């Protein structure tokens, strides 16, 4: 992984820096990297075997067992798949009167698991209104599933938790559900009024594709942020877009998580002296990944904020972004490469941030007083000469 990223950062980082510092914050050590690679290979292999078996299995061969347990005083119900054996790790969990299948990368063949659960003889006696909802249902499941469910009134809609599948045999319940969703402003992607074989016309995918193309061409100057305070007195920032129509569509399809940046309030951690501008971040939708949007959001926020710090607990996606920022001509960096308790940290600064010299004084003083060894962007070295601990 170190070699993989090395080619991205030769413009800014001194030659051989990563060879001399293999335990840089992206990973704690090389053994962990190799272990992760092996785990990835095993996962890919098992995933292929899983899909191959799922293609062949009959719906009638899939069975469930109900498992109830208390957690923090609340009763939780899982329905584990017990047959065939290769599906043992999969389950339906009950979340707020909805079921969620514990498989995130679903494809069209997973409709068999949904269908087996819907036909499961014990599930319906626990449903008071004779309707059922599933969270996080992939659109790939919908067409093959509805071909088998001609006796149900069905809705496929989007809410704050993502795509949801609603099923009922009661027409009045179906009508009431539609009216409720419209009142709440929820996006209904597909109606199925018991028409066997009717397929999903996914207008949403077409529109999201257009939005994706728009986002490819924006710059960091097209992004801005608004802020608020959450219930835990933490400050958070939402990503906004100056193009109001684009901003509205991104909200509509939930392509960028709200409260994207939340300021850390852990006062026990020590970064570069008392500088604690570290943020917990959320994510962007998979539908707009791979076009550089995440990097643009981070860079726009750095320009807005002046500086940020990161440590070994930063997510993998965020670490990749920090790596790329090390080569960015608009950004300065400082790396704490000391292998101590509070090591593996990086600070990035916007080049024209007016308080850079004050930041450097704090960082350099902390380094000298505590016997640390920091790696500085070459462009910053001239400003360090006159700073004494």
Residue 389 pLDDT: 58
| Cα 258 to Cα 274: distance, rounded to the nearest angstrom | 28
CB 157 within 8 A of CB 180: no
**Residue 215 and residue 136 in one domain:** no
- One pLDDT digit (tens) per residue for the chain, 389 residues: 444 444 344 445 555 555 555 555 444 445 555 665 666 566 566 677 888 888 888 888 888 888 877 666 666 778 888 877 767 677 888 766 788 888 777 888 999 999 988 888 667 666 655 788 998 888 888 888 888 887 888 888 888 777 899 998 888 888 888 889 888 888 888 776 554 334 444 556 778 889 999 999 999 999 999 988 877 777 889 999 999 999 999 998 889 988 899 888 766 666 777 677 788 888 888 788 889 999 999 999 999 999 988 866 666 677 778 878 888 999 999 888 764 544 467 889 999 999 988 888 888 888 888 888 888 888 888 888 777 65
Torsion from C-alpha of 334, 340, 341, 344, nearest 10 degrees: 30
Helix, strand, coil tally for the chain in percent (to 5) = 40, 25, 35
Order of strands across the sheet that contains 345-350: 307-310, 345-350, 331-336, 374-376
Residue 215 lies in a domain: yes
Note the pLDDT of residue 200.
47
Q: Are 256 and 218 in contact (CB under 8 A)?
A: no
CA pair distance 384, 182, nearest whole angstrom: 61
Residue-number span of the structural domain to which 213 is assigned:
2-38+208-383
343 and 250 in a common domain: yes
Is position 170 within any domain? yes
Partnered with residue 335 across adjacent β-strands are 346, 375
pLDDT at 304: 94
CA angle 366, 360, 292 (to 5 degrees): 115
Query: What pLDDT, on a 0 to 100 scale, did the predictor assign at position 354?
Result: 93
Q: Among 201, 232, 257, where does a domain finish?
A: 201
Task: Name the pTM for this structure.
Answer: 0.54
Residue 190 domain flag = yes
Residue 87 inside a domain? The answer is yes
**Same structural domain, 229 and 278:** yes
For the chain, the domain total comes to 2
Measured on CA atoms in the order 253, 103, 48, 64, is the torsion positive or negative? negative
pLDDT, residue 331, reads: 93
Q: Of 201, 230, 251, which one is at a domain's C-terminal end? A: 201
- Strand (E) positions, 194-281? 223-229, 235-241, 261-263, 279-281
pLDDT on residue 353: 93
pLDDT on residue 17: 55
**Do residues 161 and 236 both lie within one domain?**
no
Domain boundary among 173, 201, 229: 201
Q: Helix or strand or coil: residue 280? A: strand
Same domain assignment for residues 220 and 288: yes
* 75 within domain boundaries: yes
Using CA atoms of 151, 155, 156, 159 in order, give the dihedral in degrees to the nearest 10: -150
Q: In the prediction, which pLDDT does 342 show? A: 44
118, 189: one domain:
yes
The reported pLDDT for the residue numbered 91 is: 83
Tokens of 91: 């389950």
Co-location of 189 and 235 in the same domain: no
User: Do residues 30 and 65 both lie within one domain?
Assistant: no
């Amino acid at each position: 992984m170190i070699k993989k990223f090395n080619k991205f950062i030769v413009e800014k980082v001194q030659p051989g820096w990563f060879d001399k510092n293999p335990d840089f914050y992206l990973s704690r050590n090389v053994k962990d990297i190799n272990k992760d690679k092996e785990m990835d290979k095993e996962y890919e292999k098992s995933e292929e075997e899983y899909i191959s078996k799922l293609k062949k299995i009959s719906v009638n061969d899939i069975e469930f067992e109900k498992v109830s347990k208390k957690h923090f005083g609340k009763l939780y119900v899982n329905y584990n798949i017990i047959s065939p054996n290769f599906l043992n790790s999969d389950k339906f969990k009950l979340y707020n009167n909805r079921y969620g299948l514990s498989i995130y990368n679903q494809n069209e063949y997973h409709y068999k698991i949904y269908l087996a659960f819907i036909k499961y003889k014990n599930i319906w006696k626990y449903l008071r209104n004779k309707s059922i909802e599933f969270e996080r249902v992939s659109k790939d499941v919908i067409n093959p599933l509805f071909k088998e469910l001609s006796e149900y009134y069905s809705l496929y809609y989007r809410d704050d938790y993502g795509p949801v599948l609603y099923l009922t045999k009661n027409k009045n319940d179906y009508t009431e559900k539609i009216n409720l969703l419209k009142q709440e402003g929820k996006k209904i992607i597909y109606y199925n009024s018991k028409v066997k074989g009717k397929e999903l016309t996914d207008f949403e995918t077409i529109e999201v594709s257009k939005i994706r193309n728009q986002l490819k061409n924006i710059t960091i100057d097209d992004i801005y942020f608004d802020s608020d305070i959450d219930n835990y007195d933490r400050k958070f920032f939402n990503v906004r877009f100056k193009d109001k129509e684009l901003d509205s569509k991104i909200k509509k399809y939930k392509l960028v998580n709200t409260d994207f940046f939340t300021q850390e309030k852990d006062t026990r951690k020590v970064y570069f002296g008392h500088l604690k501008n570290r943020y917990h971040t959320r994510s962007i939708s998979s539908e707009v990944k791979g076009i550089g949007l995440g990097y643009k959001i981070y860079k726009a926020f750095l320009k807005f904020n002046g500086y940020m710090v990161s440590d070994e607990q930063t997510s993998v996606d965020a670490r990749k972004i920090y790596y790329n920022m090390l080569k960015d001509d608009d950004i300065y960096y400082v790396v704490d490469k000391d292998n101590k308790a509070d090591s593996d940290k990086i600070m990035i600064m916007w080049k024209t941030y007016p308080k850079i010299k004050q930041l450097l004084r704090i960082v350099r003083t902390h380094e000298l007083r505590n016997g640390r060894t920091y790696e500085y962007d070459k462009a910053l070295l001239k400003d360090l000469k006159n700073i004494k601990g």
